[in-house]
Every structure is written in structure tokens, then in C-alpha cells.
Structure 1
Amino acid sequence: GLSSCFHRSEGFMRGYPRVRGFYEVLSSCFHRSESPEGLEVYLHALQLLTTIHHGIQTLAVAGGTGQALWTFLCEVVCEDLCQPDDPPFVLQEQKGLLVHALAVLSVLYACQNQEAEHSEADTLLPLVGSMLRVLQYHREVSSGHGQKEKKEEEEEEKVDEQLQALIQTTVEFLSDIITHLTKDAVCELVTRGYLTEKTCLSAVGSLLPQFSPAVQHLVFMLSEADPQLADTVRKEFPVSLSPS
């Protein structure tokens, strides 16, 4: 399959179309809204690309394809896959696209210069808002709100597995970003309505206990940006206010 081809050899990788070509095809595929399956295939291909050293090197070139891809995928996630007025069960409909897109974005975030490339409020903060929304929707769906009718048992198990992969990817990526958030960025998240009591409690509940340093940093920033929200979090979860 596609996965085995990517991992067969670095030589094959060098003969594969350039990432720029992937990006161009991805863009045209996405704008044909009648072909979400095509978008998922290319997102999966890009995710496989990030598992290969040569692929990561190509994406990590400062100001190159990686940055264009970052901007494009942020738009896909924030403007089309997970919007504020979507019902919680949108996760079931978009989970395949979301998990691949967020996996690629997490690699781009880790391998490029975060300060120069990804700190712009017009991409990073809306992305954080979308990931917070994913965790909120998951909490609501898990509580029995917004679920569609049950499907066959075998299909349900498959859905749960993919949804779990999405949540794990979201939590890991969000923890990386939160660790680097400044007080001003947290203030902006609150001001824009991305970081609310509902989204914050859902995120903290998902991050703990595995990513407690990220939660500690977030609560410390909140204690200065929004003391009331910080107190609300500390009432629900045992989080220290000590700086990380």
C-alpha cells in the first residue's frame, strides 16, 4: 500500500513528486468540495511524508513549502472542519480529515522556527481555538450529547479507534503549543472567545495527568490574564500556580 511504498527506501522518496506538487494538488482537491475523499488521501500522504527524514527536511525549509502548507492546513481545520457553530457530532464526520491535518501541522510546528513562522495570531491562535473546540466536542459526545444514531457494532469500534487517535493527536499538539504561550497570547485567546470556561475545562481534563506541565503553565498564564478562569480551573483540578 501507500504506507509501505513510502517506507521502502529513501531513494523512492527522492523520486516521489516534490512536496510543492502535493500542496498544489491538495489545494485544488480541497476546493472541489464534492471530493472530501480525495482530500483525505492527500492529507494521509502528507502525514506519511512527515515520517520520513527526507520528507521532514523538505517541509522544514524556512519560508518554503512547509510554511505554505501550514497556512493552508490551518485554513482547512479552522474554517472548514471545525467551526464554532458546528454540532458536536461533526467530529464523527470530520475525524479522518482532522487527524491527518493536525498530525502534519504538529510536525510542521515542531520542525520549523516557531517564533518566525507560526506565532502569527492569524494562524496559530485560531488553530488553538479549533483544537480546544475538538476537545470540548469530544467531551460532549462522550457525555451522550450530540451523538447520532448508533451504527453496527463493528463500525462503531472502528469509529472509536479513529476518534481516539484524533483526540490523542490533538492533546499532544495542544500541549506543545500551550507550553510556549505567552500571557499576551492567552489574553488574546480569552478575548477572541477561544478560551472559555467550557473549552478550558474540557482541555485541562483531557491534558491531565499526562501533560501536567502544560496545564500548570496555562493556569499560571491565566492567573495573570484571567484570574477568575484560573480559579475556576483550580477548583475543578488540582493544579499548582507555580511557573513552569
Structure 2
Amino acid sequence: MNGTPEDNQTSSGQGDMSLIEHLLELRSRLLKMVLAVAICFAAIYPFANDLYLLLSEPLRELLPVGQTMIATDITSPFFAPLKLALVLALFVAIPVILYQLWSFIAPGLYTHEKRLAFPLLFTSVLLFYAGAAFAYFVVFPLVFGFFTAIGPEGIVELPDINSYLNFVLKMFFAFGVAFEIPVATVLLILTGATTPERLAAKRPYVIVGCFVIGMLLTPPDVISQTLLALPMWILFEFGIIFGRLARREVPGQAEDEPDAE
């Protein structure tokens, strides 16, 4: 992407750094990321058991009276909350991690690239959190309600706490990543890998792909598959819209040529 001389300017400090200086800078950034995760973990771990109860509430409140969750492994009551606290610490520290990455690569970016990169990073964090929140408040009640309602008569449901944690973490990750589709779409457009017109022309294939991905990443039921596929499709459409707007902000961005028939 070519721009004006002013747009093509980069920060002067990092351009003259040696390889050793770059590696030392990278080590410093990585240490700050690890420190941020460690601080968040230290703050979260004392409340790990309460957080697990909060996380399991969508399932526990749907279980029949007298039934509860169990631990089939003797170490599960300790390791399940510990794992939850560690994952939550990583989730909470994501803004700090992305900021450190941004601080490392920003000096090497052009001015117009900085104007676009920072909003994309900020938006990606919000979308990931939005995907996790959507899974917890919308998907979990529907999915768990479906599974607890279809069980055969006389079967006592006693979900294992470790299996439940692995399931919900997978769902959080799946929905968090799926909600990043607008960011990925904008990046594909800005890098010239594709155009909004070409993406719009492939809409039927994208819709089918969303349902296939939903089938692979969610439990084998139509409800959770649809609840993942529909937001992915809608976010894809938003990505095309924002991609058109972002393309206009890039200096010297060439207009798209119509595809050959």
C-alpha cells in the first residue's frame, strides 16, 4: 500500500535498532505479558471456587431437584478451579498482552497503518469478550436446557466438574474466535487478498461454511450450531461494510477492478 510521504513515515527510534536490541525489546515485552497474567491470576485465584459456581450456574439451575455436579477424580476439586482461574487471568490480561504487542510493532508501521491497526486491535478485544458473553448468557441456557430435557426417564444426571469446565472453555473460545470475523474480513480487504465485491459474491459459500464450522465447534445439536452460525454470518456482513469504509481511509488504495466473467 503506497501513500503520501507523510503517511509513509515510521518512527525513527526502532528503525535503527540492532538485532540484539530488538530481541531485548521483545524479551521485555514478553516478560510484561507474563507478569500481567501472573498478577491477574493472583487476584483471581482466591475467588476461584466462587467463580466456578458462577460459571456452572447455567447448568446447575436446570438440573432436577436433588441432583448436582460431581467430581469423578480426586484431584478435580482442586485443579478445576485452578484451571479456571488461569484461563480467566489470560482472558483478563488480553488488553495488556495486545498493548505490549502493539508497542513492539507500532514503531515499524507507517502512519496510516497505525491509524487502522489500533482500532482493529481494540475492536478484536471487544469482539472476543462479546463472543464469550454471548455464549454464557444466550447459548448456555438454551444448550443445557436442550440436553437436560432430552435425557431418558430414570437417568440421573450428575455432570463432572472437570468435563463441564472443558466444555464451556471450548465454547468460550469458539464463540470468541467466531466473533473476530469482522476483523479478519477487514484485514483481508486491506491487505489486498480480496475485495468487498468478491466476498459479497461468495456469500452463499460463506453461509454454508458458517454452518459447517458451527457443526464442528459446537455439540451435535441444531440449536448450538445455529446460534454460532447465524452470528458468524451477520458479523461477516458487518466485516464487508467496515472493510469498504476502511479501504477508503487507506491512502493510494486502488479501486477494485470488476472480476472477469
Normalising by structure 2, report the TM-score: 0.26
Structure having greater relative contact order (Cα 8 Å, sep ≥ 6): 2
Larger radius of gyration: 2
Normalising by structure 1, report the TM-score: 0.28
